[in-house]
């Protein structure tokens, strides 16, 4: 199975994944990136400060980005003025 | 065959040391332990030792390297429920329970000694000191599991990872594997994540934060303790739940 590395980046900083993990296909990789981003955001929520400047770039062994997910795209925020029952998104 | 005799003695030496640490053994107890039959096997890292659902006929004693016990959800999400090191019996429960309710795996290259269940069971009945020490061992295991439930259920990511690392350090120290002052961990970020219920990216961010706090220092996939007191403080680590095991 191919190995991918989840690099956490914002405009200026990056936290590199030293080990990487193997994923059977890109679909499973994308699902895991989404889970990872949401988990990071949820820990931020518990601390009271949510930093949405980051993204996760999933890279293959050669360092090519095969998938990228910005924190802002990992969740939907429903504004307080939206009536219940209205369509999401 | 002096060489193979020495190799044979090592696993039981570690087991005897552990049982002496947590219980009381006299010279006869120790010599009976030392004469247990066993089969030694070198195992590569990340190799399964016992699969959930199996009916083991032998107990697995770890003589070198590291191993873990884990369970999985139906979709394959893994929770490591304990780490193990030399001298640990990984599945003593199979003396009295027929089916494995969880799996065992090495996390590094390891040496294990397989001991036939009936022989170990007979020793526990015939030598009450040994039986009592094995009983205490399972009780301490249970205490560690309770602490892990608290850890995964109630501590934030940073304290949770720090606590897991603190426990690992003091248990290693107790069997002469390294010192807290500059302890280097053998597990991957994935394994830390599986032990703490966190994604590897989250573990990575948490280790970075422990590094920024001055408790650990990291160099790519290697990380070690640089300020033990600080790490214990972040973890709220109190080793009393380990009883005599560390």
pLDDT of A87 reads 65
Residues from chain A contacting residue B204 (CB–CB below 8 Å)? 6, 8, 15, 17-18
User: What ipTM goes with this model?
Assistant: 0.90
B122 and B216 both lie in a single domain: no
What is the share, in percent, of chain B residues with pLDDT greater than 90? 89
Please check whether residue B146 lies inside any domain of the structure: no
Q: Please list, in sequence order, all residues whose beta carbon lies within 8 angstroms of the beta carbon of residue B204, skipping any fewer than 6 positions away.
A: A6, A8, A15, A17, A18, B189
pLDDT, chain B, mean = 94
Looking at chain A, which residue has its C-alpha nearest residue B198? A39
* B89 pLDDT more than 60: yes
Beta strands in B107-192 (DSSP E): 110-116
Domain residue limits at B51 = 2-137
- Alpha-carbon distance of A8 to B158, in angstroms, equals 18
B131 and B17 both lie in a single domain: yes
- Any idea how long chain B is? 246
- Alpha-carbon distance of B33 to A60, in angstroms, equals 51
- Alpha-carbon distance of B246 to B241, in angstroms, equals 10
Please check whether residue B133 lies inside any domain of the structure: yes
- Any idea how long chain A is? 89
Residues from chain A contacting residue B188 (CB–CB below 8 Å)? 19
pLDDT of B2 reads 47
pLDDT of B219 reads 83
Residue ranges of chain A whose pLDDT lies below 70: 87-89
Confidence label for B1 from pLDDT (cuts 50, 70 and 90): very low
DSSP conformation class of B89 = B
Last residue of a domain, one of B137, B170, B204: B137
Last residue of a domain, one of B137, B166, B189: B137
Looking at chain B, which residue has its C-alpha nearest residue A56? B201
Please check whether residue B119 lies inside any domain of the structure: yes
pLDDT of A85 reads 81
Interface test with A, best of B152, B204, B208 (most A CBs within 10 A): B204
Confidence label for B5 from pLDDT (cuts 50, 70 and 90): low
What is the share, in percent, of chain B residues with pLDDT greater than 70? 97
pLDDT, average across residues B97-113: 96
Confidence label for B222 from pLDDT (cuts 50, 70 and 90): confident
B55 and B161 both lie in a single domain: no
Please check whether residue B142 lies inside any domain of the structure: no
Please check whether residue B148 lies inside any domain of the structure: no
Please check whether residue B149 lies inside any domain of the structure: no
Indicate the range of A50-59, B34-43, B177-186, B202-211 predicted with least confidence: B177-186
* B3 pLDDT more than 60: no
Number of other residues whose CB lies within 10 A of the CB of residue B6:
10
The answer to whether the CB of A59 falls within 8 A of the CB of A40 is: no
Give the CATH number, domain containing residue B43. Answer: 2.60.120.10
B122 and B185 both lie in a single domain: no
Please check whether residue B144 lies inside any domain of the structure: no
Please check whether residue B143 lies inside any domain of the structure: no
Number of other residues whose CB lies within 10 A of the CB of residue B216:
24
Number of domains, chain B = 2
For chain B, say whether A14 makes contact (Cβ under 8 Å): no
Q: Is the pTM of this model over 0.90?
A: yes
Give the CATH number, domain containing residue B213. Answer: 1.10.10.10
- Alpha-carbon distance of B222 to B220, in angstroms, equals 6
* B198 pLDDT more than 90: yes
B81 and B159 both lie in a single domain: no
DSSP conformation class of A61 = T
CB nearest B201 (choices: A36, A46, A47): A36
């Amino acid at each position: 199975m191919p190995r991918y590395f989840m690099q956490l980046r914002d405009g200026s900083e990056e936290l590199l994944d030293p080990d990487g993990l193997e994923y059977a296909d890109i679909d499973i990789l994308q699902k895991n990136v989404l889970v990872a981003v949401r988990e990071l955001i949820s820990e931020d929520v518990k601390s009271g400060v949510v930093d949405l400047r980051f993204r996760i770039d999933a890279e293959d062994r050669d360092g090519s980005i095969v998938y990228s997910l910005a924190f802002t795209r990992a969740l939907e925020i429903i504004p307080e003025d939206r009536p219940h029952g209205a369509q999401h998104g | 065959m002096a060489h193979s005799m020495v190799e044979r003695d090592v696993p039981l030496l570690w087991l005897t040391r552990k049982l002496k640490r947590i219980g009381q053994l006299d010279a006869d107890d120790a010599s009976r332990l030392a004469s247990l039959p066993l089969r030694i096997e070198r195992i590569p890292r990340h190799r399964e030792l016992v699969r959930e659902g199996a009916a083991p006929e032998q107990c697995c004693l770890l003589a070198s390297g590291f191993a873990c016990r884990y369970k999985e959800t139906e979709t394959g999400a893994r929770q490591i429920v304990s780490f193990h090191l030399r001298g640990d019996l990984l599945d003593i429960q199979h003396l009295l329970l027929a089916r494995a309710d969880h799996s065992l795996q090495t996390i590094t290259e390891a040496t294990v000694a397989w001991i036939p269940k009936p022989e170990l069971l007979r020793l526990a009945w015939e030598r009450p000191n040994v039986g009592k020490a094995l009983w205490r061992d399972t009780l301490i295991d249970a205490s560690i599991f309770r602490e892990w439930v608290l850890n995964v259920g109630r501590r934030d990511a940073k304290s949770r990872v720090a606590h897991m690392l603190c426990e690992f350090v003091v248990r290693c120290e107790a069997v002469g594997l390294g010192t807290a002052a500059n302890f280097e961990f053998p597990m991957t970020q994935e394994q830390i994540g599986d032990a703490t219920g966190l994604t590897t990216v989250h573990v990575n961010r948490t280790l970075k934060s422990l590094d920024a706090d001055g408790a650990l220092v990291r160099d790519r996939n290697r990380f070690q303790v640089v300020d033990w007191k600080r790490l214990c403080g972040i973890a709220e680590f109190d080793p009393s739940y380990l009883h005599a095991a560390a």
